[in-house]
Structure 1
Amino acid sequence: MIDLLSDELLERFRARAAVYDAENRFFSEDLEELKELGYLRLFTKPDGGLAAAAAAQQRLATAAPATALAVNMHLVWTGVARLLKERGDDSLQFVLDEAEQGEVFAFGNSEAGNDSVLFDSTTVAEPTAEGGYRFKGTKIFTSLSPAWTRLGIFGKDSSGPEPRLVHGFIHRETPGYRIMEDWDTLGMRASQSNSTVLDGVLIPRERIFRSLPVGPNADPLIFAIFACFETLVASVYAGIGERSVNLAAEAARRRRSLKNEASLAKDPLVRARVARAALIMDGIYPQIEAVAQDVDQEVDRGKQWFASLVGLKIRTTEAARETVDLAIKVAGGASYFSGSELSRLYRDVLAGQFHPSSEDSALNTIATAWLGPAL
């Protein structure tokens, strides 16, 4: 799949990324090209796995980080469906079937103030007599808002003796939801991750695919979501870091010192900064590849799996942010102008800290893996 992303295509995407960012506009043209290439069907292909998706998303993000981040949400759901199927669970086969037919999936799980992430919900799920559910609540950071045709959501059913977390998919044409035009952000602007207000939208029984207890649990769905989400998010920020190293090297070769009448590529401090940026990112690429391949090959990391996944996301987003900062120091004041690619990458990379898992949550997960629960 990475072969679909030619140098010429990436240059088109890079040029449009600047326009999307300046105009706070959705990446419609990018999405159409990716659809025509079959890029959104990556996980429906026999040779399409998480490692292949991660490599492709990293390459895409070197040109258009916001495009890659939004496409991630579709790839997360199709990746989850594939991971479950490979482990003997066909409950999301319809996701793969519909993705093959051209449907676009989006991830509508995030909620303001919900630090339990997948293990609790502020959205109310009210059961119907026919076995379906009506959902009421607000989902934030709903990437692909202008284009999704299927939105995965979940909410809490408190009607029984024990509350349950109910997962399902809505169709775009289903009434009972509103997309807010509230995506006016510092970075990742082309993703158009608007809030989605659920006003009693109905999901029929056949589109409900999970009912889980509140709190951490061992359902394969949870692992599949974490594995795909954290790995693919890491890949996007690795792409930002990779591009920043290249831009730093280009700037060092282009700029000259008036004092020394020499290229800044000869300056020891500049060389050290470029080398430091490259060194940081070189340690990230094999980590993403190793985690993704272990997921594909169903390697048993036992209790360390979730620690591995959240750790990968934290290390990569922090590494990318440090690398962009170094690149800006090398490029100098020109990178402070809004039209500079590094200026955009600087704003885009900051979004990494807001994706689950947060640093605090990740540290708690890792501590539990090594020390057991605190209580």
Structure 2
Amino acid sequence: MPTTTPPPTPAQVLDDHLLEGFRERAAGYDRDNAFFADDLAELREAGYLGAVVPSGLGGLGWDLPTLVAAQRRLASAAPATALGVNMHLVWTSVARVLHDRDDDSLDFLLRDAAAGEVFAFGISEAGNDLMLFGSDTVADPQRDGTVRYTGRKIFTSLSPAWTRLGVHGLDTASDDAPKLVYGFIDRDDPDVRTLDDWDTIGMRATQSRTTVLDGAVVARDRIVRRLDPGPTDDPFVYAIFACFELLISSVYTGLADRALELAVAAASTRVSKRTGVPRSEDPDVRRRIAEAGSLLEAIGPQLDALARDVADGIDHGAFRFARPSGLKMRAVAAARGVVEAAVRVSGGRTFFAGDELGRLQRDVLAGAFHPSSDDGALGAIATALLGPVRD
């Protein structure tokens, strides 16, 4: 019988040599507020943009848990690179989740990703806390079946490099309005503008700039959903939500992995002037590192288990949104706790520009700004446990 060659592992695709190159460049990207162009080129060459694309469609054929593990590994070397490419991987993961459920509406995306197209996430809007469930962008259907989008999308990671932008907007003009309309815009559309407005304290290499849509056109065959505004059971929306939260969680967990590694190295190499012994023997240092390690130990199994459930189509019922958002909240909180402990162990050198742990301290702050917010996650958990608030 014919044998099937297993896909390469994350450690084979993201080998130590590749990761070391990412780590070396990360400081320069951060210092110069520059996009991770060289990293992206190497990830494309390694086939990483098609990581979850089935091998029959030209990809590596990974499942979602494997991708989550790979993103954790990548983030341990270059968190901003991992966070930036995350947005492409969210879309490919959504397409793979649907594909595995015999929904081919995003199979074009899988083929495009395998061919080298770069997808970005054009959902976030200033002041719009409805996120997937509402939009301030106008979606204007045309007689030929295309849709024109007018509005502003913020935090558009991969801004210098994306070739396809997944967006949503609100159609208030059609007979069945209001409808949220999801589709994909091409980069060469003349009615798309990218602002040069990304100058942040952390995750600088993502270059998550503002995108202005001045009537940008989505072709008829690239409109993938028309949905009622508000919460929905549509598997497309759930797949976006779950994959986004899982992959965000993996990035901050990988960042924390590196922070803990740096803390252990600092404790093992620094010697106390007062006692003459390595700081690794100081009970306070040992306690901080143990607490940091414990935080990480709690997140890893949750990441893997939930990724497996999403890939396998396990229905969590009332908790289907609460569990991914709760995981993201806990993963970011754990990462911040690990980084804080690592900074205290490593000392004042982390306050200087150019120090890797100091950069991680700035990068981890971005976790608070990704959906779901802590308030949103706790609200979802409360609804799952107690039911919705009565009007």
Normalising by the smaller structure, the TM-score range is over 0.9
- Take 2:102 and 2:238, find their aligned partners in 1: how far apart are those partners? 14
Comparing 13-22 with 44-53, greater Cα deviation is found at 44-53
| 1:317-336 matched pairs, under 5 angstroms | 317-336=332-351
Q: State how many pairs are aligned.
A: 375
Q: Would you say 1:41 and 2:56 are equivalent positions?
A: no
2:198, 2:204 within 8 Å by CA — same for their partners in 1? yes
| 1:82-101 matched pairs, under 5 angstroms | 82-101=96-115
- The one-letter amino acid paired with 1:48 is W
2:141, 2:174 within 8 Å by CA — same for their partners in 1? no
Q: Would you say 1:239 and 2:254 are equivalent positions?
A: yes
Q: Which structure 2 residue ranges, 5 or more long, are not aligned?
A: 1-8, 56-60
Give the corresponding residue for 1:368.
Answer: 383
- Take 2:139 and 2:65, find their aligned partners in 1: how far apart are those partners? 35
Match of 1:167 among 175, 182, 204: 182
Match of 1:80 among 87, 91, 94: 94
Match of 2:134 among 111, 116, 120: 120
CA deviation string 1:192-215 (max 9, x = no partner): 000000011111211111110111
Q: TM-score under structure 1 normalisation?
A: 0.99
Q: TM-score under structure 2 normalisation?
A: 0.95
Give the corresponding residue for 1:202.
Answer: 217
- Take 1:102 and 1:244, find their aligned partners in 2: how far apart are those partners? 32
Query: Secondary structure at the residue paired with 1:167?
Result: strand
- Take 1:189 and 1:168, find their aligned partners in 2: how far apart are those partners? 27
Pairwise CA distance, 1:160? 3.1
Query: Secondary structure at the residue paired with 2:80?
Result: helix
Q: Would you say 1:144 and 2:153 are equivalent positions?
A: no
Q: Would you say 1:6 and 2:15 are equivalent positions?
A: yes
* Backbone CA RMSD of aligned residues: 0.9
- Take 1:50 and 1:145, find their aligned partners in 2: how far apart are those partners? 25
- The one-letter amino acid paired with 1:111 is E
- Take 1:137 and 1:345, find their aligned partners in 2: how far apart are those partners? 33
CA deviation string 1:42-63 (max 9, x = no partner): 1113441110110000000000
Comparing 301-310 with 147-156, greater Cα deviation is found at 301-310
- The one-letter amino acid paired with 2:272 is S
Identity of aligned residues (%): 55
Q: Which structure 1 residue ranges, 5 or more long, are not aligned?
A: none
Runs of 4+ in 1 over 6 A off after TM superposition: none
- Take 2:20 and 2:265, find their aligned partners in 1: how far apart are those partners? 16
Query: Secondary structure at the residue paired with 1:174?
Result: coil
Comparing 205-214 with 19-28, greater Cα deviation is found at 205-214
- The one-letter amino acid paired with 1:331 is S
Pairwise CA distance, 1:300? 2.4
Pairwise CA distance, 1:357? 0.5
